[in-house]
Structure 1
């Protein structure tokens, strides 16, 4: 008997049972075949329901040694390999049809050293796992805005979040990483050890190996923070966003703010005035004293006539999970696109508002993020993440549930992005990418800019045969 698996060149190889059984016997975690009923009981369901490819083999790793064995197996047999951390890849990179998946979702340990203000985080951890452990010590590291997002994909791709303007991106706070490279060797990447690999991991994605664990720098924060969350009528978005823009460009770095356009669901405990109503939510977090923060955030609550204002001091962990309900795992079909803007002009705001009022469905979001402070304090070539100057990013998070609407929804997302391109600077955020079946290098050139050449050299040093290619792929330099 054999297992038929897709290879990196698109062909198919028949892997004998004894080879598969040999890998299974070496692993402490489970090796699951695609035809095994256990494959239907995935411990980590992928987030985007558009991309639910069934792997021929899934290595459910329990630790770094399992990752080493899985990588060696995939390399020796030439298998097409995907890596799953939290399974939250919008573009579908968390799985692969008929290939092999290295599933890290069972590796969710978080160890906090409060004296050194460091946290060692396994690569299957979710944001909520990290926040729970670090907040026990009144500490945090910059992560995203949805607690069920995987730490690894978020951080390797940059990592925007509520603390970015004060403390930088997630990738900026990586102190070290333990990496299983394509040759099966375990390497440490830090400023003093393999510094080229360390540079590339901070924004270069999963191109250079499988990170088994990260060490993050922590900052004092919480457990209570000041949070602004004010709901305005969506038809007022253009005026509200103009006032928001004028305010945030001069706001202190302790403030990270955004505008989200959505149809708010009829959520229990929320007032009926916003139930199933299209709204613009102006959000902001102050990374500092909560009482000071509520005073500093007050202008975000006065940009128009609110429908509802939930602004208040609240636990940081609650802020981090407040948007979770909008992103249920395995339910939504999603196609996202982004644009960076050097200036948020009145014309750009009018275009954003028009699109927000003409979304293809209630679950689609139109977002504007303010970026500055610590994000811009890092040079464009200091890490692989090159976008260090744009003060705004606009994203169109097209989301729906009916597969029959795929074409219509994707077309809307693409057209909205193309329209916004005339206001953007041509750069995109790779974690907000569209379909995995678009060109493998889609957006890579614009996202990495001058860093792409150096990334290709690092890729050639650590993964010359492009074993790790199910990602926003950097090709190895020839």
Structure 2
């Protein structure tokens, strides 16, 4: 470069600070004036509408380091986007820098060792596609557009939770760009404390550019029990589920979902749009044994439909996808870990489902136990696992005109079930982080002091704070 050229670059950098980042950046920088800005800043939740000053679409680790250094040196708010699926919209921020990993989605499976290395922008669908080619699966969530990064860092509950635990339980190592722009590896052999913090402690400690997981033989087929009960039988169906859930083998992971019946041929027309309870259970073990293990769940009461079937694991993983479209729907999700499912809690759930302002909303009772529960509260940052059920409160709707009513319904459900809660919440269902401090204290409990120490070491200035934040000392 000539001296004249160098002078021009310096002037441009002074006039446009983003140009300074561009000099050391191989990916794509997207500014508010760019044609693709609105498309790139969108996240899954259609209710989230934030306008970052700059979106850094990283092509590799060097870009992530440059973006972190740029944000730190200029005091910019930082959001980190993996899959962009976090319901609170934490992947994007107003007037700050979005570090977008969505172009970094490479995956490498090692079938010999049963391990998988995936970049931070990969989705569950990306990971499933590669692992199932070798008859393997990593425990992940139940909507395939979800990014593996945010899911894993918050725990990661899915169809394999009772057989193989959380996504974070299967995390072997991770590469992390810390707040000071260093790339470090977290594993049992190196920075083991950081690996512990990443197993449920969220994105508080840096940008994870790649994850190494333990994979397990699963599929290609699994058995899905899919049984529908009328809303008039909801209380009885939940009471039966309460007694049945602790008896199921580890190969079974299930839900009882309070919902409104969709308009599909398999459900009798007189029940369309009316309250229902759905049993959904995946048996990931021997398909022949699955029918026997799930017989009592399928035969209880007088179901209005039984759509159970043996299906490819990949199809089961995509089961919920159509119900959670990106950008179109609006979402507000919260949660409680429940000490049990007493009759008073069941009554509250039934009434809430009957009175929801949106037929798309659900109240999901997740069966816990099994492998999920056999990890000690201090073994990972995720914390206590003694609760028998998780309640997912999903307020889902279409029109902005319904925002206030649907958010309030979600908050009403949270308040109504709070007396039955352990005090902990699933941090991947955080509402809008409006009670973030309380959620952090109640969820991490005895692990919080150790997490604060980690935060103070790896991010003392709290650069990574747009999350369920753990402030440094």
What is the TM-score when the length of structure 2 is the normalising length? 0.94
- 1:210 and 1:51 mapped to 2: Cα distance? 22
Specify the alignment match of 1:26 in structure 2: 24
Specify the alignment match of 1:464 in structure 2: 460
Specify the alignment match of 1:231 in structure 2: 228
CA RMSD of aligned residues (A): 1.5
SS in 1 for 2:247: coil
SS in 1 for 2:410: helix
Specify the alignment match of 1:343 in structure 2: 340
Specify the alignment match of 1:424 in structure 2: 421
- 8 A Cα contact 1:35 1:56, kept in partner: no
Specify the alignment match of 1:194 in structure 2: 191
Q: CA deviation at 1:234?
A: 2.2
Q: CA deviation at 1:423?
A: 1.5
Specify the alignment match of 2:5 in structure 1: none
Q: Does 1:364 align with 2:357?
A: no
Q: CA deviation at 1:281?
A: 1.2
Q: CA deviation at 1:440?
A: 4.3
Q: Does 1:353 align with 2:368?
A: no
Q: CA deviation at 1:297?
A: 1.4
Q: 2:443 aligns with which of 433, 440, 447?
A: 447
1:80-159 matches, within 5 Å, as 80-159=77-156
- 8 A Cα contact 2:138 2:170, kept in partner: yes
- 8 A Cα contact 2:267 2:304, kept in partner: no
Q: CA deviation at 1:87?
A: 0.6
Summarize the Cα distance change of 1:389–1:176 in structure 2 as closer, same or farther, 3 Å threshold.
same
Q: 1:290 aligns with which of 262, 287, 292?
A: 287
Q: CA deviation at 1:342?
A: 1.5
**1:192-246 deviation line (CA, Å, top 9, x unaligned):** 1001110000000000000001001000000101111111112211111111111
Flag structure 1 segments of 5+ consecutive residues without an equivalent: 1-14
- 8 A Cα contact 2:266 2:305, kept in partner: no
Specify the alignment match of 1:3 in structure 2: none
What is the TM-score when the length of structure 1 is the normalising length? 0.93
- 1:294 and 1:139 mapped to 2: Cα distance? 22
SS in 1 for 2:336: strand
- 8 A Cα contact 1:294 1:313, kept in partner: no
- 8 A Cα contact 1:227 1:294, kept in partner: no
- 1:245 and 1:423 mapped to 2: Cα distance? 14
Q: CA deviation at 1:272?
A: 5.5
Q: CA deviation at 1:439?
A: 4.7
Flag structure 2 segments of 5+ consecutive residues without an equivalent: 1-12
SS in 1 for 2:365: strand
- 8 A Cα contact 1:32 1:59, kept in partner: yes
Specify the alignment match of 1:299 in structure 2: 296
1:242-391 matches, within 5 Å, as 242-266=239-263, 270=266, 273=269, 275-391=272-388
- 2:22 and 2:282 mapped to 1: Cα distance? 47
SS in 2 for 1:265: coil
